[in-house]
A and B are shown apart, each in its own frame.
Chain A
Amino acid sequence: MEFLTPSHAWWAALAVPVIVVYFLKLKRPRLTVPSLVLWARVMQDQRVNSPFQRFRRHLLLLLQLLLLLALVLAATQPVSRGDVAGSGHLPVLIDVSASMAASDSTGRSRLDEAKEQVAALIDGLAGDRQIALVAVGARARRLTGFTDNARVLHAALDALAVDETGADLGAALRLAQAMARSAAVSDVILYSDGNVSLDRALELPFSVDYRLVGPAAANIGITAVRARRALDGDWEVLVVVRAVGAVGSGTVRVVQHGRALGSQNLTLDNGDNRRLLFRLPAAALGMVSIELRSDGIDSLASDNLAYLTLPKARALRVQLGESMEAWRRALQAHQELDLVRADVAADLAIVHSADVTPAPVTVSVGSIPKAVADMLDRRDAGTGVVDWNHASPLLRHAGLGEVLFARSVLFAPGMDEASLEGRGWRIAVHGENGPLALEQRRGETVHYAWLIDLDFSTLPYRVAFPVMVANAVQEARTRAGLGEVAAVRTGVVTAGDLPAGSSVAVRGPGVELDALPVDAEGRLGGIAASRVGLYQLSGDGFERELGVALLDEFETSLLRNEELQLGTTAATASGDDNPGDWPWWRPLAALALGLLLVEWWWYQRPAGGWR
């Protein structure tokens, strides 16, 4: 136990005047009795028999001293410290991801449980402690600054609602790191079900007290929705449904304009990941919704609905640079593909210059991007491919192991792969002495940069080359929504194919935004769509719908992680013990009030009242 204001103990000196005044002012009512003989005997007998008579004789004084003691103790603010040591500033991170909406049989969600615990923490806030509330969703939101104002904290806590997104714990910890720079933070409390993602390891200057909330729950939900055109032009819609816990059966329906285009029943066991394929006619263009109805326990409602926008079919627009015959021949093998001029917006651009990205997917050949030109040096010495990023969409299934290059690229002195990553570039293909190809993803665009002209390599003569071109075409088709269409997930989303330069108003669940500018490429980014549903995009002469769904396998799984790996350290879920402080001033004040009432009652009680 600690005393936050021990200096207030000086108030105990008031006991002296209390005692003095008591004895000075002690005015007993005089009562004339026939004789004191009996009373004298009684008093003598009673003093002998009762060693506590001195206390009983001055019960009022005793009560007054106890009252003063209780008040003085309350004034010194004794506090029983909780599990979180130290004092000062305490960021409290609250997971508000979709899985926190999972409810138990009583309808109480994980977030409700977390809010109750945080409310108890706020109520037990010691005078020397300040709390800042941070919501952990797809992005981290600071709900309050550091404050000990319980009303402000409770108001922020009450307004907290579940975001139907995943949880980016890394962003929240980085925010806490930033807060720690301006205030002394030794501990951070995280209330979560453990269903969070951490993109990279962090060096944390504080310890994380991880409070696991919510019981395990059963759930069934849609985790992925994709569509692609079949060879006959129809749409093949792939729906992935995942079940956890004892679930049962359910139905998945594909609905467009209120009409069911397809329906499938399914029965799932714990851990099942069922893939359902719906075949829709080629004419089924526009928005379709995929609805899941569970006949069993379903703890999460937000993952039962998904949207998919089926675009009109058109040829892929490809911009190809001059003197790129090998690329041209490879492209000729693909159907529904138009080679367009440089002034036409393309879906895929294959160019010489590494400093222009005229399309969502750009492949530059033979030049080093200016952004990293100071890090790399080109040499005439030959080299081979040492390794490549097999997960890169451009290089999937492309065997580059025997490809030789007549020229090579070296790192400038003091530069390495980490230096490139610091400028947003990753190495796609490693040569013997340095990178041969780089990859940069920025927003909705991707740029693959071959640093050496492929005419000085054996790649055009290898099978890997048409495979690589096919990968580029496929990625461009996907990004253009021509080949494979994926449903949009909650979070920060981007809408394309909007009138370039126009302004758009967005209306949707919890979102009301006006006059958002569309960029020159017809894209509107930065729409914070944290709720599942339809978002209306309207502008001058046009109106679009954007369907957003959860589609997060982790959130649907309602995974409860007992341990979170935070860089070099791990945070283990702690028990039900109270992390907050327990101030004693309230019970002491209540005790003082009780003593006051007892004293008043004792003093005012009627004669003979005991009998």
Chain B
Amino acid sequence: MADTAQLSSVLGNEVIARIERLRLAGSNRFTDRTRGDRITGRGGSSIEFADYRDYQHGDDIRGVDWNIFARLGKPYLKLYRQEQERHVTILIDTSASMGFGTKLHRARQFAAACAIMGLIGGERVSIYLAGHEPRQVQRLGPVRGRPSLRRVLAFLEDVSSGGAVAIDQAVDAMLARHHGRGLCVVLSDFLTEHDPKRLSGALFAAGLETWAVQILDPIELDPSIEGDQRLVDSETGAHLDVSGAGGLLGLYQEHLASISDELATACKGRGGRAMQLSAGEDFTTQLFDRWRRAGWVR
């Protein structure tokens, strides 16, 4: 009875309601020229005052502040903030490695949350699923407004993992079909051989602020393996024989931290941001606490 009342299996109604009160933060550097709800700078046509400037020949006379003119005898043009639309792009890595544990589910939850915040915030939202086949993406949108909420949630219901497409290839495939500036939330484990700088650079060049969310399973964050093991890659099926794995965990942690640091550095270098999350942690804690504290949402 209660299940049938849920909008989605991805997020509960209460969580959706809480998410609706949040907005995605981020800079306003990347916005579409189309009018939107995001106030970006002076020279716009919104109702929010921005500044004055001297009237110049050719300016629309309707912009003159007649009260100032009456007081000072000189015409000054009244400027308003520009309200532009931001395109919230969400890329979910659906390669096989994301199907490990609850990583893909957590990616769907964050995708849904970002989409909800974008739709409620009057922004255009596009969702890409990449990972099954190279240069192939599944796409939803762009969509806008609350009426698209059910459609977005329904789209995320059917996301499944599979394939062995690296995250940088997925980004390339997405950018090949994407139009619009804004931000791009990349939900992946980033456990592929790729160059984080190239990834963030490509998104930056496409006018997208990179939000890299590295979702890892607890067993990836803190593996507890010992002895001689044959490790099998869930994506490629390749194997690697490891002896005395217990003694290598220190090195493992070092390399894991190194990958996260490289990703964060690459994103920040292009005005973006990155965060590592555990799929085993509570979603609401991550979203309403960590994201809020980190300034990702407000």
Q: Given known contacts A605-B227, A607-B226, A610-B247, is B234 in contact with A43 (CB within 8 Å)?
A: no
Q: Which single residue of chain A is at the shortest CB-CB distance from B241?
A: A28
| Residues of A30-69 contacting chain B, CB below 8 A | 30-43, 45-46, 56-60
Which secondary structure characterizes the binding site on chain A? mixed
Task: State A161–B233 Cα separation when bound (angstroms).
Answer: 78
Tell whether, in the assembled complex, residue B242 and residue A38 are in contact, meaning their CB atoms are under 8 Å apart: no
Does residue B229 face the partner (Cβ distance < 8 Å to A)?
A: yes
- A residues contacting B by CB (< 8 A) are 26, 28-43, 45-46, 56-60, 602-603, 605-611
Tell whether, in the assembled complex, residue B255 and residue A41 are in contact, meaning their CB atoms are under 8 Å apart: yes
Tell whether, in the assembled complex, residue A611 and residue B232 are in contact, meaning their CB atoms are under 8 Å apart: no
Minimum CB–CB distance from B215 to chain A (whole Å) comes to 10
Task: List B contacts of A59 (CB < 8 A).
Answer: 243-244
Task: List B contacts of A35 (CB < 8 A).
Answer: 97, 189, 191-192, 233-235
8 pairs of A and B residues whose beta carbons are closest in the complex: A57-B243, A35-B191, A34-B97, A34-B100, A28-B230, A608-B224, A607-B226, A36-B233
15 contacts between A and B (CB under 8 A): A28-B229, A29-B230, A30-B229, A30-B230, A31-B230, A33-B220, A34-B189, A35-B191, A37-B191, A56-B247, A59-B243, A609-B226, A609-B246, A611-B224, A611-B246
Task: List B contacts of A60 (CB < 8 A).
Answer: 228
- Among B101, B226, B252, point to the contact of A610 (Cβ < 8 A): B226
Task: List B contacts of A26 (CB < 8 A).
Answer: 228
Task: List A contacts of B231 (CB < 8 A).
Answer: 31-33, 36, 39
Task: State A31–B234 Cα separation when bound (angstroms).
Answer: 10
Task: List B contacts of A46 (CB < 8 A).
Answer: 248, 251
Task: List A contacts of B223 (CB < 8 A).
Answer: 33
**Per-residue contact bits, chain B 88-127, to A (CB 8 Å; 1 contact, 0 not):** 0000000001101101000000000000000000000000
Tell whether, in the assembled complex, residue A37 and residue B192 are in contact, meaning their CB atoms are under 8 Å apart: yes
Q: Which single residue of chain A is at the shortest CB-CB distance from B224?
A: A608
Tell whether, in the assembled complex, residue B217 and residue A34 are in contact, meaning their CB atoms are under 8 Å apart: yes
Task: State A37–B235 Cα separation when bound (angstroms).
Answer: 11
Tell whether, in the assembled complex, residue A32 and residue B259 are in contact, meaning their CB atoms are under 8 Å apart: no
Minimum CB–CB distance from A441 to chain B (whole Å) comes to 87
Does residue B239 face the partner (Cβ distance < 8 Å to A)?
A: yes
Q: Given known contacts A31-B231, A45-B255, A46-B248, is B226 in contact with A36 (CB within 8 Å)?
A: no
Q: Given known contacts A40-B240, A42-B255, is B103 in contact with A34 (CB within 8 Å)?
A: yes
Task: State A56–B224 Cα separation when bound (angstroms).
Answer: 19
Task: List B contacts of A28 (CB < 8 A).
Answer: 228-230, 241
Tell whether, in the assembled complex, residue A58 and residue B243 are in contact, meaning their CB atoms are under 8 Å apart: yes
Tell whether, in the assembled complex, residue B225 and residue A31 are in contact, meaning their CB atoms are under 8 Å apart: yes
Q: Given known contacts A45-B251, A45-B255, is B240 in contact with A607 (CB within 8 Å)?
A: no
Task: List A contacts of B228 (CB < 8 A).
Answer: 26, 28-29, 57, 60
Tell whether, in the assembled complex, residue A30 and residue B249 are in contact, meaning their CB atoms are under 8 Å apart: no
Q: Which single residue of chain B is at the shortest CB-CB distance from A50?
A: B247
Q: Given known contacts A38-B191, A46-B248, A609-B226, is B243 in contact with A30 (CB within 8 Å)?
A: no
Minimum CB–CB distance from A38 to chain B (whole Å) comes to 5
Task: State A38–B221 Cα separation when bound (angstroms).
Answer: 11
Does residue B193 face the partner (Cβ distance < 8 Å to A)?
A: yes
Q: Count chain B CB atoms within 10 A of each CB in A34, A36, A607, A608 and give the residue with the most.
A: A34
Does residue B238 face the partner (Cβ distance < 8 Å to A)?
A: yes
Q: Count chain A CB atoms within 10 A of each CB in B192, B231, B238 and give the residue with the most.
A: B231
Minimum CB–CB distance from A69 to chain B (whole Å) comes to 21
Task: List B contacts of A607 (CB < 8 A).
Answer: 224-227, 246
Tell whether, in the assembled complex, residue A32 and residue B193 are in contact, meaning their CB atoms are under 8 Å apart: no
Does residue B15 face the partner (Cβ distance < 8 Å to A)?
A: no
Task: State A34–B214 Cα separation when bound (angstroms).
Answer: 13
- Among B103, B192, B224, B232, point to the contact of A33 (Cβ < 8 A): B232
Does residue B159 face the partner (Cβ distance < 8 Å to A)?
A: no
Does residue B50 face the partner (Cβ distance < 8 Å to A)?
A: no
Does residue B68 face the partner (Cβ distance < 8 Å to A)?
A: no
Q: Given known contacts A35-B97, A39-B252, is B229 in contact with A29 (CB within 8 Å)?
A: yes
Task: List B contacts of A37 (CB < 8 A).
Answer: 191-193, 259
Minimum CB–CB distance from A610 to chain B (whole Å) comes to 4
Task: List B contacts of A41 (CB < 8 A).
Answer: 255
Tell whether, in the assembled complex, residue A38 and residue B255 are in contact, meaning their CB atoms are under 8 Å apart: yes
Does residue B294 face the partner (Cβ distance < 8 Å to A)?
A: no
Task: State A33–B219 Cα separation when bound (angstroms).
Answer: 9
Q: Which single residue of chain A is at the shortest CB-CB distance from B255?
A: A41
Q: Which single residue of chain B is at the shortest CB-CB distance from A38?
A: B255
- Among A32, A36, A38, A609, point to the contact of B256 (Cβ < 8 A): A38
Tell whether, in the assembled complex, residue B232 and residue A608 are in contact, meaning their CB atoms are under 8 Å apart: no
Given contacts A36-B231, A56-B243, A59-B244, 14 further A-B contacts (CB under 8 A): A28-B228, A28-B241, A34-B100, A34-B101, A34-B103, A35-B97, A35-B192, A36-B236, A37-B191, A39-B231, A39-B240, A43-B240, A609-B226, A610-B226
Q: Which single residue of chain B is at the shortest CB-CB distance from A32?
A: B232
